[in-house]
Every structure is written in C-alpha cells, then in structure tokens.
Chains A and B, each alone.
Chain A
Amino acid sequence: MNEQASATRAPATQPAGDGWTAVCRQRDLTPDTGICALVGGKQVAIFLSRRGDLYGISNYDPIGGANILSRGIIGSVGEAVVVASPLYKQHFDLRTGECLEDAGHRVNTYPVRICNGQVQVKVR
C-alpha cells in the first residue's frame, strides 16, 4: 500500500527508451553503502558492496513501515548478501528481496548497472 504512496510524484528522471534510467554518477556511490533514487515515482535503494557488486531493491521496509532501507548496513549471512533494516534490524536479501527473518515479507528488486560512468536502474 505505502509503496505506492509516492506514485503521484512526477518521476525525477525520465527513463530512456530502453527502460534504463540514469540516476547518478558512478563516483557518487561509496563502496559498502547505499543511496536512494526516485525512479518512475518509486523509491529504489541502490547498494554497492565492498566487492563492487551493485544491487537495487525497494527502499520501503514493510516491517518498519518507512522508506529507509537504503540507510541500512550491508553484510552477508552465509552466502546471501543482505541489508539490515536500520529500524528493527531484519535482513533483506539484496538478490531476491526476501526477508530472512520473516519469509512472509519480500521487497521488490530492481536491476542496476553502470553504463558510461552512470548508475542506471530499470523499473518495470
């Protein structure tokens, strides 16, 4: 429900014809941290791991009920790469969006890539 709360806002960045939207420069990302981008009215949390991998998930924490996942700590649980919600510390798998503590909760994932020094997100 709340994930659509920001759908009324005009998209900050218009997608190019191929569905990818550039949101910032590569050097705007700091390894091991996340940022949030507004794409097509959706809040997308984008993470760059210390290994250099990129991930995109919804910024909305369905358990805490706030748009804050981009501000969580990145880590690993076994082989899974996760972000810990800064509110109540549940872990969300950055590849699948699944909540490790509560399989009933899952957040959307979004493809992210670097293209010509730009960070691009695809929102379906």
Chain B
Amino acid sequence: MRRRYLAYPYVLWMAAFVVAPIAIVVVYAFTAKGGGATFGNFAEIVRSAPMLRTFARSFWLSLLATVVCLLIGYPMAYVLANERRGAQRVLLMLIMLPMWMNFLLRTYAWITILEKNGLLNRLLGLLGVGPLQMINTQGAVVLGMVYNFLPFMILPIYSVIVKIDRSLLEAAEDLGASPLAVFRRVIFPLSLPGVVSGITMVFVPGVSTFAISKLLGGSNSGMLGDLIEMQFQGTSYNPYLGSAVALVMMVIVMVFMYFMNRVGDGGQEAMIL
C-alpha cells in the first residue's frame, strides 16, 4: 500500500505557499487601483516607454550575464571534473565559499572596488590610466550578476560531466575519435542537461534581480526587480501594477524555459530549480 497521507503536509505547504501566492499575484494583476477587474495594468506597462526599456534591459543584461557565466563556467566545470578527487573537493569548496558570505556584503564589496576612488581606479592610477567610470554602469551590473551567479552555472555542469561514464570516452576513442571529437560528439552532448540547468539557474534569478542593479547600476540601470520593488514601497505604491509586471515577467521566463527544456533532457531538473 502506498502511504499517500505522508504527502499531505507537502501538498498543504505547496498550496499555502506556492499556489496561493501566485493566484493572489494573478488576481492583483487584473485588478484596477480602485477595485474591479481590468486589463489596465498591462496597458499601462505597454504604454510606458521607461517600463518597456526596463523589460528589455533586464532580459538583455541577464542574457549577457548568462552567456559570460557559461563561457567562464563550462571550461571551469570541465577542468574541475577532470581533476583528481582530492583537488575536486578543494576547488568545489573554493567555488562555494563566497556563497556563504552574505549576498549584500559581497555586492557592497564590489562598490568599494569599482567606485571612482575605489581599489581598481587607484591601481589603474598608479599605471597612469583612468580614472574610469566603472560603478553605475550596465557593465557593473553584469559583473555583479556573473560574480554572484557563476557557482550556479559551474555546479550543475560539473555534476553532469563528472558522472559521465569513463568507458563512454574510451569507447569513442576506441571507435576512432580524436580527443577533440570525443569532446564534441560525446562529452558535450552528454553535458547539455547540466548546461540547461546552469543557464536556467543563472538567467531566471538574473532577470528578477534588484539589489545588484540598485547597488552597482545606478539610476539608469534599473531592472525589473527594482521596478517591482518600487511599486510596493515608497510613494508610488501600486501593488496591482507591480503584480502585473511580475506576471508578465513570469510568463516570459516560462516561455524561455519551455524552449530551453526542449534543448536538453535535464529539463525536469531545471524546471524544479
């Protein structure tokens, strides 16, 4: 007999803390400021050029961050997976270590590095370069995202590569594949589920990030997270518009994930994460 009742607490949990909040967001998104159902919130988004720019910027910057993470993370994961066991443990620890530090603290640290009289500019000054405008640029936002999200790219790719059966590589070699062909035809395709997970785990939080853009991006680099936050705090309090923005973002992310999941078989894992 299957003990179904064991699942009840989780069902309850999911209903109370996952389904209900999403339902509330959906209801709010279709509610007018004074009450009553409306599409007005969405119309407001579409009509507002700054908001559309924020949408575009959010997706563009997090896409950029995802690509950079992939370009750095894949080779790192690959090298890591081919290290000896002991070295793997140490390196994994080093990759995860920054994640144990408070997120805000890590991001604040970048301010002191990037600001006008910061560490980097002083160093460049010694070489006779600069000072360069680094803080409050979109580049700084991408840098902040890459720095914060890189482990989420490395770890899933690493864990997939490290599990690839060595005899598969030997089999490929045995069948005449050069080392490059072994990578191209066997290792890379088999690591795709990890890549899909990694991309999802970087891109999705990237789109909705707000602290990074707020701290490193200045006033011209606001992202969707900031936009939503603004609707719930401060003078322009408008939870209905905020919910609508959140809903649109969610739908776009879901469409994106749908296409990603068709690329790799790791889709289910990515979906859960």
Q: Are these two chains actual partners, yes or no?
A: no
Chain A residues with CB under 8 Å of chain B are none
Chain B residues with CB under 8 Å of chain A are none
